[in-house]
Structure 1
Amino acid sequence: MWRPRVRNIRMTVSYDGTAYNGFQTQPGNLRTIQDQLEQAIEQLTGERLKITASGRTDAGVHARGQVFNFTTESLIPIERWCMALNGGLAKDIVVRDARIVPMEFHSRRSAKRKTYRYTVRCGRNPDVFKRHMEFHHPKSLDIEAMREGLRYIVGEHDFSSFCSARTTKTSFVRTVYEAKLICDPYEEELGSYAFHIVLTGSGFLYNMVRIIVGTLLQVGEGKRPSSDIGAVLEAKSRRRAGPTAMAHGLMLWEVFYEDEAPGP
């Protein structure tokens, strides 16, 4: 009996995570991005399947470039997948790229690097239109001290201090290739400006970016010196780091694969 050829399809999806309990399916019928995507695929193809993502994002965290893949027997031409899926998805989820990849491609295991971006609005007033994607810090911060603190993050380190105790990982060693702080122009009408902490690494532990940001904010507030970031790393103790920054400022910016990753 003839059967359609199975294809492995890789997709890139952007989403506003405000209304969702993270990316990954959760017990108790909680609303997640994964469930929305799988339901849209089933509605389109009739196939009930599980997708594989490059990694999970927590409740309230957003993504510009989350990657996932799945195998399908559907004969839908690859160039029609994005429009067809988006027609069945909520407006806060948009599939923006679809391509056929080798059967051995795995969104998580094949990933080489990831970039996360955390956005803070510093100053008198928040931007009401971006309030779900920016953490508002009303007081001034020492941006240069925070930039200096970021220098200690770059390289291969044991990031135990910047990892939630809830992690299931057995190794805490990760490599951060780039860590930078980018400021947007000051907005007179708001009396504030946004800045972005951007981290690119081989991988990230549970809450790692948010704990790094929470600790850097303490540096910006003058509560600890820039050099303390290095001391926190060496301590390998979560108690030495700062608080976990709020989820809504975090965005999974991009995932890189073979021949896509930039140089160190």
Structure 2
Amino acid sequence: MANGHGRVGPARDGWIGFAQPEQATHGEPLSKDLSTTSHQKLRTICVRLAYEGTRYCGWQIQPGRMTVQGTLAEALKSITGESTKPVGSSRTDAGVHAIGQMAVFETRSRLTLNVLFCAINARLPPDIAVLDIREAACGFDPIRSAIRKMYRYRIHDPRWPPILGRHLVWRCRSQLNIDAMRTAAEHLLGKHDFTSFEKVPSLRLSKVRTIYSISIRRVSCDDDQPDAEIWIEIEGNGFLHNMVRIIVGSLVMVGSGRRSPEWMQEALASHNRLHAGPTAPAQGLVLVRIDFSDDAGQMPMDYSSSLIQSQIIDHPE
């Protein structure tokens, strides 16, 4: 439950959430008796991350560029003294945000999860935060074990300029017919070859993915802006590069009246990127949730009930 700092306390399934923030002090040295040594057993630690991706060149480390993975790796090294490369479940692109990214790293540190949690957050910049932390089974792979992902795309109504939080939404210039968008989205449900919705042809052996659900709804930001946003939430077993953003761009083509709902089926069947819509801007996309298989070591299959609310990315109900 939330504490006086507006953060969340210990969560379910062994997760440690936003607790005891007074322990997290920048620059505070960690106790020497908890230092990392080569004699300690290697531990696998899994963290759930939230970040605003505006100033980052995506998740993956890139030489000479600021990335989320690189920033987290630097924070971990300053705590444990180890050079470790955290592995993320999803490689979000530049400008894309997250409230449910999962990352795993290995360490020989004897620091408790509570201390690690506070120490990592103390060393991260304000636009990245660890929401939860727990110990995972040795060898846990957050990429192979992921069976379901959910993304949310936020579109702002053109009637109200999104001055605050403009880096978190796409201000579409057209009024959108969400009933037409919903009809078009039905053609994408199920198992299909999504070649038309991939950024560029890749060497992947299969372009087949399964979309479980697509929800399109209007959301009110406040009393002065009723129904100011359209949220498109897509759940699937995996996504090709830029697939969600191209789907959103195609849905906007339908919603603005430039294409019919039936055009979506034609674009899907063409297996040709040129036949689908444009790629929606990165800033509206948020990685919301990743679910793991029930045999993925000690990781919970579904953590959606663990009372997490990010203080980085504001998402009104």
Cα deviation, residue 189, structure 1: 3.5
Cα deviation, residue 24, structure 1: 0.3
Aligned residue among 33, 38, 42 for 1:6: 42
Structure holding more strand per residue: 1
Deviations 1:169-206 (A, max 9, x none): 23100011111112113756357610111111110000
In the alignment, is residue 15 of structure 1 matched against residue 56 of structure 2?
A: no
Q: Please tell me whether the aligned partners of residues 167 and 205 of structure 1 are also in contact (alpha carbons under 8 angstroms).
A: no
Q: Which amino acid aligns with 1:5?
A: K
Q: Please tell me whether the aligned partners of residues 219 and 226 of structure 2 are also in contact (alpha carbons under 8 angstroms).
A: no
**Among the aligned pairs, what percent are the same residue?**
38
TM-score normalized by structure 1?
0.94
| Rounded Cα–Cα distance in structure 2 between residues aligned with 1:80 and 1:150 | 45
| Rounded Cα–Cα distance in structure 1 between residues aligned with 2:87 and 2:59 | 11
| Rounded Cα–Cα distance in structure 2 between residues aligned with 1:13 and 1:188 | 31
Deviations 1:69-104 (A, max 9, x none): 011100010122221101001000000111111112
Cα deviation, residue 125, structure 1: 1.9
| Rounded Cα–Cα distance in structure 2 between residues aligned with 1:73 and 1:178 | 41
Q: Please tell me whether the aligned partners of residues 113 and 261 of structure 1 are also in contact (alpha carbons under 8 angstroms).
A: no
How many residues align? The count is 261
**RMSD of aligned residue pairs (Cα, Å):** 1.8
| Unpaired stretches in structure 1, ≥5 consecutive residues | none
In the alignment, is residue 215 of structure 1 matched against residue 250 of structure 2?
A: yes
Q: Which runs of 4+ in 1 moved over 4 A?
A: none
| Rounded Cα–Cα distance in structure 1 between residues aligned with 2:202 and 2:111 | 39
Structure 1 segment 1-264 matched on structure 2, within 5 A? 3-27=39-63, 29-165=64-200, 167-185=202-220, 189-190=224-225, 193-259=228-294, 260-261=301-302
Q: In structure 2, the residue corresponding to 1:96 is in which secondary structure?
A: strand
Q: Please tell me whether the aligned partners of residues 124 and 191 of structure 1 are also in contact (alpha carbons under 8 angstroms).
A: no
| Rounded Cα–Cα distance in structure 2 between residues aligned with 1:17 and 1:213 | 19
| Unpaired stretches in structure 2, ≥5 consecutive residues | 1-36, 295-300, 304-317
TM-score normalized by structure 2?
0.79
Q: Which residue of 1 aligns with 2:33?
A: none
